[in-house]
Amino acid sequence: MSDITVFIAAAVRTMDESQPTGDAVAVRDGRIVEVGTLESLRPWLERHDHAIDDRFADRVLLPGFIDPHVHPTMMALLMATDWLTPEAWELPGRSIPETAGRRQYLERVTELHTARADPEQPLVVFGYHAQYHGEIVRADLDAISSDRPIVLWQRSFHELRCNSRALEWLDAAEGAAWDPHIDLESGRMFESGMVWGLKVLSPDLLGRGRLERNLRDFRSLVQAGGVTTIADAGYGLFDVDFELAVLFEQFDRPDTPFTLHLMPNIGRIRQTHPNEDVFEKLAEFSRRGTERIRFLDSAKFLADGAFIAQLMQIGPPGYIDGHNGAWLTEPERLIAQIRPFWERGWDINIHTNGDVGVDACLDAISTLLHEQPRFDHRTTLHHFGISTQAQSRRLAALDVAVQANGYYLYLFGDLFIDEWLGYERASQMTRVGSARRNGASVAVHSDIPMGPIAPLLAASAMATRTTRGGHVLAPAERLSPIDALRSITIEPAYQLRLDHEVGSLAAGKRADMVALSDDPLTLDPADWPSITIAATVLGGIVFPLDA
């Protein structure tokens, strides 16, 4: 048994309601011995060899942040593309400026095209959004080049816009013969049509060592956000065996400053291993688990379409322009997909964005609860874009948790009022205040690349409900400051069934922490994004961030 290390701090915020504060954390063998003060720790320190570590004496310690819904390989894929986004991003080695307006967007795409020497090398650009960049179709991209494949990857990831050469490159005509989500005339490939395009895009963008390099950059993004626990909400998006091999190669190592928890994308794993029993295959994967990379008995399913692309299924009065959303899985198929996992006691996680999608999810869980009652099932709705008060009460009654995207309101609240939904529904997106008041567990996530891994920004958005344009939307749906901090610590830990291990600082739990320059609970939540993250601590090992 090793000696005790005592980390002293200006303050410790434990996120444990029994003992919320302290100024010292005693750690041994990667776990917390006790949280308190040097005086209260005396019974331990008088009987055991120990060392005082004062590097955080002027910092505030919190539990390491948890991002319960990320996509490492998806982010790595997109980091292999050029970025023209409606908002600025900081990526390793490059700063992405904001691009606004149709004219500026097309000019920048043209600049990227002319800068490439090889006239046939594909140009794939991530970040297009029609409401920020205007409607751009096949003919517009053909005017830039008829020789080079040009693909605009929509900001939601769920949609592509292609020129004629790109449609040929992606075999779009073959897919359009059966898939209604491929429109050859406009060059639009969305939802299942986008998945068809991945057959060509994925190997092109992830090959030649790109996946490995970009995952290393992803690792630095996680730590920069103060995050010590992440969950890949749907591994197997492209090539499950290749992805897992590279994830283990890059993250199953002592210098990785976080633990990765893997949740399977059931549909994709069935597609890539059609002749194998899915539970046997998942058990085979699970046996590979290590200290750094663990497999969850938790499955990911998909209901309706993307929020950012406005493909979610919403009820009356619908979208302002009258367009319809899309189902990723029709309601009757959704319940059939979930049922075998429910019957085996797995946790259920469902991607849903519109209120009609939320209804489909709650109907499925209600049916399954009547078929086979389960206690402590921890079913979680991911993203939770548009919902109703009735659904907020119903999901709490069904003991269903909410895991909201912390950036929907911040990044898109202003736009979706005027363009898509009107003030009432758009202002009440991510209805987290109601869910919490009704007793539901509420966490927030980045869904990177849908938003940056910046938990303090996400929590701030849910505590202030302030958009990027400075407008406050539905203040009654705010989380309290303490609930906002819980939404990036103990609540995601609960939803992942990791709350016995992480999410708060208490005796016996893993010594995973984040060191901050300021105490969030003494600041206005609007100022949380400006707090500096000095270091993370994983299992008692300190990982400093470069100044």
Answer whether residue 546 shows pLDDT above 80: no
* Shared domain check, 91 and 50: no
Domain extent at residue 493: 66-71+211-503
pLDDT at 411: 87
* Shared domain check, 10 and 105: no
* Shared domain check, 345 and 459: yes
pLDDT at 416: 84
* Shared domain check, 379 and 238: yes
* Shared domain check, 267 and 197: no
Last-in-domain residue among 206, 233, 253: 206
Number of domains in the chain: 3
**Residue 147, exposed/middle/buried by CB under 10 A (0-12, 13-18, 19+)?**
exposed
pLDDT tens digits for range 489-514: 999 999 999 999 999 999 999 999 99
Q: What is the CA radius of gyration of the chain?
A: 23
Which residues are bridge partners to 241 per DSSP? Answer: none
pLDDT at 172: 96
* Shared domain check, 490 and 350: yes
Percent of the chain with pLDDT over 90: 89
Mean pLDDT to the nearest integer, 146-166:
95
Mean pLDDT to the nearest integer, 324-350:
96
- Cβ pair 49, 91 in contact under 8 A: no
Mean pLDDT to the nearest integer, 269-295:
93
* Shared domain check, 287 and 256: yes
Q: Beta strands 94-96 and 401-405: pairing type?
A: unpaired
Query: Which are the contacts of 351, defined by CB distance < 8 A and separation ≥ 6?
Result: 300, 301, 302, 303, 328, 382, 383
Measured distance CA(71)–CA(73) in Å, rounded: 6
pLDDT at 30: 97
CATH of the domain at 92: 3.10.310.70
- In angstroms, what CA-CA distances link 527 with 82, 481, 521? 31, 12, 11
* Shared domain check, 489 and 510: no
Instruction: Share the mean pLDDT of the chain.
Output: 95
Last-in-domain residue among 159, 183, 206: 206
Answer whether residue 1 shows pLDDT above 80: no
Mean pLDDT to the nearest integer, 118-123:
92
CA atoms within 13 A on the CB side of 486: 19
pLDDT at 418: 82
* Shared domain check, 276 and 156: no
pLDDT at 392: 97
* Shared domain check, 25 and 118: no
Answer whether residue 243 shows pLDDT above 60: yes
Last-in-domain residue among 206, 239, 260: 206
Query: Which are the contacts of 258, defined by CB distance < 8 A and separation ≥ 6?
Result: 64, 219, 222, 223, 227, 228, 229, 230, 536, 538
* Shared domain check, 254 and 377: yes
- Cβ pair 261, 290 in contact under 8 A: no
pLDDT at 412: 87
Measured distance CA(164)–CA(180) in Å, rounded: 18
Mean pLDDT to the nearest integer, 136-160:
96
Q: Which two tokens stand for residue 149?
A: 């494949």
pLDDT at 119: 87
Answer whether residue 153 shows pLDDT above 60: yes
pLDDT at 60: 98
* Shared domain check, 290 and 249: yes
Measured distance CA(117)–CA(135) in Å, rounded: 28
pLDDT at 175: 95
Answer whether residue 547 shows pLDDT above 50: no
pLDDT tens digits for range 78-99: 999 999 999 999 999 999 999 9
Percent of the chain with pLDDT over 70: 99
pLDDT tens digits for range 365-422: 999 999 999 999 999 999 999 999 999 999 999 999 999 998 899 988 888 888 889 9
What's this model's pTM, rounded to 2 decimal places?
A: 0.95
Measured distance CA(60)–CA(515) in Å, rounded: 6
Measured distance CA(502)–CA(491) in Å, rounded: 10
CATH of the domain at 429: 3.20.20.140
Q: How many CB atoms lie within 10 A of CB 257?
A: 24
CATH of the domain at 59: 2.30.40.10
